[in-house]
Structure 1
Amino acid sequence: MRELRGIGASPGGAAGPVYRLAPPPALPPLVEAVDPGAEKATVRAAVLAVAADLTRRADTALDVTAAEVLRAQVMMAQDETLIDAADIAIDGGADAPHAITDVLAGHRAAFEAAGGYLAERVSDLDDLRDRLVAACLGLPMPGVPDPGHPYLLIARDLAPADTAGLEPGLVLGLITAEGGPTSHTAILARTLGIPAVVRCPGILDVTDGALASLDGTSGVVVAGVSAETVTTVNADRLAEIERRARSRGPGRTADGHPIALLANIGSARDLTGEVEGVGLFRTELLYLDRSDPPSHEEQVTAYRDVFAALPGSKIVVRTLDAGADKPLPFLRLADEPNPALGIRGLRVARQTPSVLTTQLAAIAAAAAATDADVWVMAPMVATAAEAAAFTESCREHGLPTAGVMIEVPAAALCASQVLCHADFLSVGTNDLSQYTFAADRMCGDLADLLDPWQPALIALLASCAAAGVEAGKPVGVCGESAADPDFALVLAGLGITSLSMAPRSIPAVRESLAAHTLDECRRIAEAVLAAPSPEAARAAAAGASPQLRSGVGVPVR
């Protein structure tokens, strides 16, 4: 047996034979185009074929985020500037596959130079290139294998088109050599309930068909396990899934202290199973793939669908989180040297205030037509003055509960001043981590800095929670860290009042909280706050709670 270590990205255990993602097509030697017209026709045919395939995948995707990314890839493929540039390359002597490769290489370099959200899309461009080249060569599309039985999927990394159609019953677990805990692959794995380990060096050296096991909490992968181990691990996992499927009720500690467990969603179709409410309603889906913003009426309909699905429940709506790092055509924002630090989130209202006022009016109209308890929050708030301006605008539109997201360290450090104006805070630990550590979420080499157990991040969370306790106002967490059953204990002990996550993650967090009293959670939080490293923090949590496995893990029954 051989033990490999990566980063646990989606909790749970799984075991079985490993099979790797089908490789991209090899680019053949350049053949000078003798019939430029035919090569141009090949490019157009490839664009049509790939766009149709990606659209089909988007329409059948199990995850709304994957569907959004796939539709964005369709837009990239159908971009006239790409096709025109390929025509120019063909006129210069390139054949169709090389023309596409050269053009997308230029786009890739531009995306990397832009940083932020565009840099995150580099893997999408690579995937698009591979699919277009395969179509030009008449080869099968690269993608997920189908050996005819359950298996562990291994890959260097996964593109959205690969993950969109994953079947949890067939793909028992995911292991990637690259990526990070907040990458698209990790987030989707948690959404689907598939155990996953990312950033696992050496996994690509394991041969197809070899038996392996993974622990999506600790990040440990063991290659060369026995058939008996496979049977035991998967039986334990199935029993755990069945037990958690019976989990019901609100989130609370063993002594009855409430910790609301809410869902992160992008539309009404994401509301699966029993949830207490919604802690993060991402509204970007309505704005994608458009040259003009959605009308007031369109927005009212979309919001009302979500509000009506949860009558009487708390629903926290995040206003449009887009801008320079997540460009939308209708915003017509100028190019920026560093989009991640530019006009994004609430800052868009500085240049295009009508986008925010139209959205607030639509949210208010939808809320008035339902019985939901609608809260509204703004992303990328950095100062108390921004919080004051946003909450005032919400009240002018008849929205009584207005808060802000804490994603910028400046806002976390001034949480008390922010709460002088805001009714609540919601900490987005994904962005807060990357801004705190100056580490891009998509840079796999820096994945260790984005570990939620990093002391600096926990200190900022403690500051926000303390400000909420002092002001008597709720402070929630809606980043991916909220889905970690162990870290949830830390958050509860710090004074966080609600946790929002993918619906599939809620049962494990509910059970973890229910196995500990509030005092136990506070002792765990105190021990973790004194730890000098993520490893020490995990060990401190385990040492403060006899019910946690050594290091990390769900409560032992």
Structure 2
Amino acid sequence: MSALSGVGVGRGIAAAKVLKMPEPLAPPGDEPLAADADAELGRVRAALAEVADELTARAVAAGGDAQQVLEAAALMAQDPAILDDVQARLAAGTNAERATWDAYAGFRDLLAQMGGYMAERATDLDDVAQRVVARLRGVAAPGVPQSDQPFILVARDLAPADTATLDLEKTLALVTQDGGPTSHTAILARSKSLPAVVGVVGLLAAVADGQRAIVDAKAGTVVLDPDDASVAAAEAERASRTTAASAPITEGALADGTKVPLMANVGSPEDAPAAIALGAEGVGLFRTEFLFLGASSAPTVEAQTEAYTELLQGFAGKKVVARVLDAGADKPLAFLNDAHEENPALGLRGIRALRATEQILRDQLTALANAQRATGAELHVMAPMIADHEETAYFVALGRELGLTHVGAMAEVPSIAVLADQVLEAADFVSIGTNDLTQYTLAADRQLGSVAGFQDPWHPAVLRLIKLLGDAGAAAGKPVGVCGEAAADPALAVVLVGLGATSLSMSASALADVRAELLTVTLDEARARAARALTAKSAAEARQLASHPAG
């Protein structure tokens, strides 16, 4: 019996045999074209059509969010620009497999250079290319293995097209060698309530198909070849955790009765019913980008008012924290900022981009104020990427001018933590976005796999910045919430409360686990865990120190 360690996602546990994702196909060789170019083009055309049909059929069967992911992948297989590129390469004497591979690689590199959301689509292109080349070779495409029995899925990483159609009746847990706590796989695991451990160094070399394992997300471990007693204990704990997760929904609170409101992060009004059903006490992060992304011009005040009103009505009588448009960097919008920037993550994004095109910001704040008046909801509005008091004062003054009553700042830039006392002189509240705060604190692009190990909100540097914000909020008598992925980690949620967080917002599927974990500690115990984590010299040590009783 041996154990591997990584970053746990959630607090679930599972015991089963391992099934490994097949490794990607090897790149085609450079052999010159030996057949007729037109005939080979026909073969490629047929392969593209077959892959598109397969992905479309899977999309219809999957439904929901998975359907959208797979339909987008099907469109990538039908893109005429790809076929034109392949045709040109065939005419130049490249063999069909290599021509297809290189055509997709060219488009992939283009998307990867754009970063963020578009870079994620590059992963989808890789998946489509693999499927098409597999058709040309007459072999099965790499993908999630099929099984009649429940299994633990082990992979280098997972493509969206694979994760979108996971059979949750058979897939008990996910383990990946790559990725971090904010990776696609981690986010999927949280959304599906699947136990997962990501970023397991040496995983693929250490694990074999059919090997028995225990995945413990809470501990962040993968135990290989466990004995029967360990498996029985894991299965009993799994049953216990399932029972706890299905316990009656109550307000978020600690064991001593200290209230900690548990809110949901939502991306559109359609997300509201599911969040409420899972016990969300409000919305801690309403991402308003859904109205802007993909649009050729900014939506009208009327269109925005309608959408915001719909969401606020779904949370009548509850607190809703809306973030104004967060664009730039990984979410470029031509009508907001069309200037080319070598390093857009450190450029005109967030509040900076909105100030540069203030009418878009004014229209959005006007629409939010209209929705507030129409519903009587407790609407709080914040701006992204606030760096200091001056930016805070500007945004708060503009919000007040346009009729908003609760105006605050999102803490994602380290400078806002250093100047937290000044910021809270102007802001009504602060909400901490741990994803970007971690990225900027540790200079680690959260979309870049090579530095995924740095993208960990348990890092003591990040925790110390959060404490500065929590302390400043307590001194000013103003709320400081957390709305990043960190809040969905039950163990870290306890530490965040100990650092001064007054509310936590997360993916709705994580609410039950966090609610259960908070009920195991008092405020004094949460503060003690936080204090121990602050003394750590690494993220891993912070986890360890926070997980054990003092002494």
TM-score w.r.t. the length of structure 2 is 0.89
CA shift, 1:324, in A, is 3.1
Counterpart in 1 of 2:164?
Answer: 164
Structure 1 residues 300 and 235 mapped into 2: Cα distance closer, same or farther (>3 Å)? farther
Structure 1 residues 34 and 263 mapped into 2: Cα distance closer, same or farther (>3 Å)? same
Report if aligned partners of 2:408, 2:429 keep a CA contact under 8 Å in 1. Answer: yes
**Structure 1 residue 248 and structure 2 residue 249: aligned?**
yes
Using the TM superposition, name which of 309-318 and 45-54 deviates more: 45-54
Could you tell me how far apart the structure 1 residues matched to 2:147 and 2:534 are? 47
Report if aligned partners of 1:527, 1:537 keep a CA contact under 8 Å in 2. Answer: yes
Could you tell me how far apart the structure 2 residues matched to 1:149 and 1:157 are? 22
CA shift, 1:311, in A, is 1.0
Counterpart in 1 of 2:311?
Answer: 306
Could you tell me how far apart the structure 2 residues matched to 1:53 and 1:89 are? 26
Q: Which amino acid aligns with 1:275?
A: A
Report if aligned partners of 1:493, 1:525 keep a CA contact under 8 Å in 2. Answer: yes
Counterpart in 2 of 1:207?
Answer: 208
* Alignment partner of 1:446 out of 438, 443, 451: 451
Report if aligned partners of 2:199, 2:453 keep a CA contact under 8 Å in 1. Answer: no
Could you tell me how far apart the structure 1 residues matched to 2:135 and 2:467 are? 52
Counterpart in 2 of 1:393?
Answer: 398
The 5-angstrom pairing of residues 4-403 of structure 1 reads 4-29=4-29, 30=31, 32=33, 34-40=35-41, 50=51, 64=65, 81-111=81-111, 119=119, 121-135=121-135, 140-205=140-205, 206-226=207-227, 229-271=230-272, 272=274, 273-328=278-333, 331=336, 333-403=338-408
* Alignment partner of 2:441 out of 436, 440, 448: 436
Report if aligned partners of 1:453, 1:537 keep a CA contact under 8 Å in 2. Answer: yes
Could you tell me how far apart the structure 2 residues matched to 1:75 and 1:323 are? 26
Structure 1 residues 81 and 295 mapped into 2: Cα distance closer, same or farther (>3 Å)? farther
CA distances 1:505-533 after superposition (whole Å, capped 9, x unpaired): 22222222222222222222223323333
Question: Which consecutive residues of structure 1, in runs of 5 or more, have no partner in the other structure?
Answer: 547-557
Using the TM superposition, name which of 19-28 and 447-456 deviates more: 19-28
Using the TM superposition, name which of 108-117 and 241-250 deviates more: 108-117
Could you tell me how far apart the structure 1 residues matched to 2:322 and 2:58 are? 28
Q: Which amino acid aligns with 1:233?
A: A
CA shift, 1:28, in A, is 4.6
Report if aligned partners of 1:68, 1:288 keep a CA contact under 8 Å in 2. Answer: no
Report if aligned partners of 1:63, 1:164 keep a CA contact under 8 Å in 2. Answer: no
CA shift, 1:115, in A, is 5.3
Structure 1 residues 97 and 297 mapped into 2: Cα distance closer, same or farther (>3 Å)? farther
Could you tell me how far apart the structure 2 residues matched to 1:474 and 1:189 are? 30
Counterpart in 2 of 1:488?
Answer: 493
Structure 1 residues 338 and 47 mapped into 2: Cα distance closer, same or farther (>3 Å)? farther
Q: Which amino acid aligns with 1:308?
A: Q
Could you tell me how far apart the structure 1 residues matched to 2:47 and 2:300 are? 34
Q: Which amino acid aligns with 2:217?
A: G
State the secondary structure of the residue aligned to 2:381.
strand
CA shift, 1:191, in A, is 1.7
Could you tell me how far apart the structure 2 residues matched to 1:282 and 1:325 are? 15
Could you tell me how far apart the structure 1 residues matched to 2:444 and 2:57 are? 34
Using the TM superposition, name which of 87-96 and 261-270 deviates more: 87-96
Using the TM superposition, name which of 438-447 and 9-18 deviates more: 438-447
State the secondary structure of the residue aligned to 2:537.
coil
CA shift, 1:340, in A, is 1.8
Report if aligned partners of 2:20, 2:155 keep a CA contact under 8 Å in 1. Answer: yes
Structure 1 residues 524 and 207 mapped into 2: Cα distance closer, same or farther (>3 Å)? closer
Structure 1 residues 14 and 418 mapped into 2: Cα distance closer, same or farther (>3 Å)? same
Structure 1 residues 35 and 328 mapped into 2: Cα distance closer, same or farther (>3 Å)? farther
Could you tell me how far apart the structure 2 residues matched to 1:360 and 1:340 are? 24
Could you tell me how far apart the structure 2 residues matched to 1:108 and 1:189 are? 25
Q: Which amino acid aligns with 2:348?
A: I
CA distances 1:486-517 after superposition (whole Å, capped 9, x unpaired): 22222212221111111222222222222222
CA shift, 1:56, in A, is 6.2
Counterpart in 2 of 1:552?
Answer: none
Could you tell me how far apart the structure 2 residues matched to 1:506 and 1:109 are? 37
Counterpart in 2 of 1:474?
Answer: 479
Using the TM superposition, name which of 406-415 and 536-545 deviates more: 536-545
Could you tell me how far apart the structure 2 residues matched to 1:52 and 1:367 are? 45
Counterpart in 1 of 2:527?
Answer: 522
Could you tell me how far apart the structure 1 residues matched to 2:328 and 2:43 are? 35
Q: Which amino acid aligns with 1:398?
A: G
CA shift, 1:284, in A, is 2.7
State the secondary structure of the residue aligned to 1:148.
coil
TM-score w.r.t. the length of structure 1 is 0.88
CA shift, 1:473, in A, is 1.2
Counterpart in 1 of 2:469?
Answer: 464
State the secondary structure of the residue aligned to 1:369.
helix
Could you tell me how far apart the structure 1 residues matched to 2:279 and 2:483 are? 18
Aligned length: 545
Could you tell me how far apart the structure 1 residues matched to 2:410 and 2:57 are? 34
State the secondary structure of the residue aligned to 1:281.
strand
Q: Which amino acid aligns with 2:497?
A: A
Report if aligned partners of 2:381, 2:406 keep a CA contact under 8 Å in 1. Answer: yes
Counterpart in 2 of 1:555?
Answer: none
Structure 1 residues 529 and 332 mapped into 2: Cα distance closer, same or farther (>3 Å)? closer
CA shift, 1:60, in A, is 6.8
Structure 1 residues 441 and 255 mapped into 2: Cα distance closer, same or farther (>3 Å)? same
Question: Which consecutive residues of structure 2, in runs of 5 or more, have no partner in the other structure?
Answer: none
CA shift, 1:444, in A, is 4.0
Counterpart in 2 of 1:406?
Answer: 411
* Alignment partner of 1:541 out of 518, 525, 546: 546
CA distances 1:412-457 after superposition (whole Å, capped 9, x unpaired): 2122222222221111111111111111224444333233221111
Using the TM superposition, name which of 414-423 and 342-351 deviates more: 342-351
Using the TM superposition, name which of 371-380 and 292-301 deviates more: 292-301
State the secondary structure of the residue aligned to 2:425.
coil
CA shift, 1:363, in A, is 2.7
Could you tell me how far apart the structure 2 residues matched to 1:79 and 1:386 are? 44
Structure 1 residues 113 and 286 mapped into 2: Cα distance closer, same or farther (>3 Å)? closer
Structure 1 residues 529 and 225 mapped into 2: Cα distance closer, same or farther (>3 Å)? closer
CA shift, 1:35, in A, is 4.5
Q: Which amino acid aligns with 1:263?
A: A
Counterpart in 2 of 1:550?
Answer: none
Could you tell me how far apart the structure 1 residues matched to 2:97 and 2:165 are? 26
CA distances 1:381-431 after superposition (whole Å, capped 9, x unpaired): 223222222223323332221222111112221222222222211111111
CA distances 1:106-164 after superposition (whole Å, capped 9, x unpaired): 34445555555555554334223223434555655432222022110111101111111
Q: Which amino acid aligns with 1:498?
A: S
Structure 1 residues 283 and 417 mapped into 2: Cα distance closer, same or farther (>3 Å)? same
CA shift, 1:40, in A, is 4.7
Could you tell me how far apart the structure 2 residues matched to 1:63 and 1:397 are? 37
CA shift, 1:34, in A, is 4.8
Report if aligned partners of 2:328, 2:345 keep a CA contact under 8 Å in 1. Answer: no
Could you tell me how far apart the structure 2 residues matched to 1:51 and 1:404 are? 44
